[in-house]
Amino acid sequence: MEEFRLHSNTTMSTNENTNPVLIAGAGPVGMTAALALHARGIDTAILEAESEDRDRDGSRAIYVHGSTLRTLERIHPGLGTDLVDEGLVWPTRRTLYRGKEVFNRTYDSPGGSGDIPHFTSVPQVVTEAYMHDALEDIGIEIHWDSEVVTVDTSPDGVHVETGDGAEWEAEYLIGADGGGSEVRNEIGANFEGDQSENAFLIADIEEEGGHGEELERMFHYDAPETDGRNVLLVPFTGGWRLDIQCLGDDDPEELKSDERMQEFIRDVMGEEYVDNLKWVSTYYFLQVMADTFVDEHRRVLLAGEAAHLLAPFGARGMNSGVADADEAASAIAVALGARTDAVARDEIELYAARREKAAEYNLEAAGQALEYLQGENPATILRKEAAASLADTFEEAGEWLDDAPYGPHGSPPIVSTGNY
Ligand SMILES: Cc1cc2nc3c(=O)[nH]c(=O)nc-3n(C[C@H](O)[C@H](O)[C@H](O)COP(=O)(O)OP(=O)(O)OC[C@H]3O[C@@H](n4cnc5c(N)ncnc54)[C@H](O)[C@@H]3O)c2cc1C
């Protein structure tokens, strides 16, 4: 006979370290998960390894898709529109090929109509600051300096220990503790996948006094200014993301020196930006996902970079992490209200099925962009050259060159919230 379970609010004691749901990690995904749980009437708290006065370096996720903004607006009214007010929508897409313009299009209404545009461009630190304010508004606590060190699960729930020696009980745990996830290690899940062959140099350059109206996102193939390296330049509120793809025999650490960066900035952006470098880092992008997104007892759900790491082309990282978080909250809400263990288990398994499928799809899409950019395939090289030589006559050829670095636009086959 089916075993019946008690509702969470009747099983929980008043111990302050007891919550129906705990979240590991106060990155954008963990904070979204907390907001999404609250929106569904579920109490939660976040355990965060770092201190409250931490610095989060770099602009990172600047491209926030409309579907992500809509999800944030749905779970915390005002959050999506605040980010829209804070961000910017660039109206022009421009692409050059070895110094020659091959595509240039300006949209009259680049964001579309309505309160939520197709995208907004805003640094991740700003998005996180707004999420943080939203958590404060509704009284969700972040326990800083609380690194999750062990996770034990059973059919009845989760026991967590943090580095400060505190012990925590919960019915469910969302592991949103980023790429190096300890929660993932603790449930015995493993990352599987590849790493990019090329390194990428990513820098933030400040725009003093704010941007004007005429903003463009620019991609330059084999740019002469960078001795034949691909360059991407994207505006965001307060600055520019400069992304330079290293060549095979480059030493990325040498290229990231102040002297070399100043040369790149001068040659790509102009003398007036030379002293405006705010941050620079080098990356080899991992393309990996966990072999399972849930533990054996269906009590721990991995979300965001704890579950998958994607190359950033197509901007699927944070965007898909927000969808994970919202879906994890939705599954947990049903599971907590379930009157049978089997229904609860099933719901968590459905989360894993949906989000593993989505991650596979997103990995494939980001992988196509990466493969295209690394450009080793002779057919791709030929296609790029043919498109560049036809671009003056056929706009479609230039548009293809403009579009291809970001991979396909499609969404995963099973989508319930968000598009990624
Ligand atoms: C250069 C670059 C550009 C990018 N551009 C985009 C873009 O345009 N659009 C996009 O969607 N994505 C983009 N991304 C990806 C995006 O930055 C990540 O997907 C996003 O930060 C993942 O969020 P997260 O909350 O899963 O992980 P994180 O942001 O890594 O947060 C994890 C949190 O968990 C904490 N933590 C770690 N271990 C523990 C522990 N044991 N216990 C408790 N807490 C712990 C960490 O301190 C951190 O606060 C980009 C990434 C890079 C590097």
Which domain-ending residue is among 373, 393, 408?
A: 373
Q: pLDDT tens digit string along 303-324?
A: 999 999 999 999 999 999 999 9
Name which of 167, 171, 174 is nearest 157 in CA terms: 171
401 lines ligand 1 (CB under 6 A): no
What band does 31 get if pLDDT is binned at 50, 70 and 90? very high
Same domain for 238 and 128? Answer: no
Same domain for 134 and 49? Answer: yes
Q: Are 60 and 196 in contact (CB under 8 A)?
A: no
Same domain for 259 and 331? Answer: no
Spacing, Cα 59 to ligand 1 middle (Å)? 11
Mean pLDDT to the nearest integer, 373-384: 87
132 falls within a domain:
yes
Same domain for 223 and 365? Answer: no
Q: 327 lies in which domain range?
A: 8-87+122-195+286-373
Predicted confidence at residue 14, as pLDDT, reads: 34
* Three-state SS at 159: strand
Predicted confidence at residue 237, as pLDDT, reads: 94
Number of H helices, E strands in the chain: 12, 19
Which domain-ending residue is among 255, 283, 311?
A: 283
Same domain for 304 and 259? Answer: no
CATH of the domain at 268: 3.30.70
Mean pLDDT to the nearest integer, 128-148: 97
334 falls within a domain:
yes
Same domain for 266 and 296? Answer: no
Of residues 381 and 37, the one with the higher pLDDT is: 37
Same domain for 267 and 335? Answer: no
Instruction: Calculate what percentage of the chain has a pLDDT beyond 70.
Output: 94
CATH of the domain at 34: 3.50.50.60
Same domain for 340 and 212? Answer: no
Closest ligand 1 atom to 316 CA: 11
Instruction: Calculate what percentage of the chain has a pLDDT beyond 90.
Output: 82
348 lines ligand 1 (CB under 6 A): no
pLDDT higher than threshold 70 for residue 101: yes
Alpha carbon distances (Å) from 120 to 60, 86, 183, 282: 14, 9, 31, 25
Name which of 381, 96, 92 is nearest 224 in CA terms: 96
Same domain for 70 and 216? Answer: no
Residue whose CA is at the smallest distance from ligand 1 atom 37: 177
Same domain for 301 and 364? Answer: yes
Predicted confidence at residue 15, as pLDDT, reads: 41
For residue 134, count other CB atoms closer than 10 A to its CB: 22
Closest ligand 1 atom to 306 CA: 26
Same domain for 312 and 361? Answer: yes
What band does 419 get if pLDDT is binned at 50, 70 and 90? low
Predicted confidence at residue 16, as pLDDT, reads: 55
Predicted confidence at residue 414, as pLDDT, reads: 67
User: How many structural domains comprise the chain?
Assistant: 2
317 falls within a domain:
yes
Q: What is the overall mean pLDDT for the chain?
A: 92
Sequential DSSP letters for 74-131? HHSTTHHHHHHHHSB---EEEEEETTEEEEEEE-SSTT-SSSS-SEEE--HHHHHHHH
Same domain for 356 and 210? Answer: no
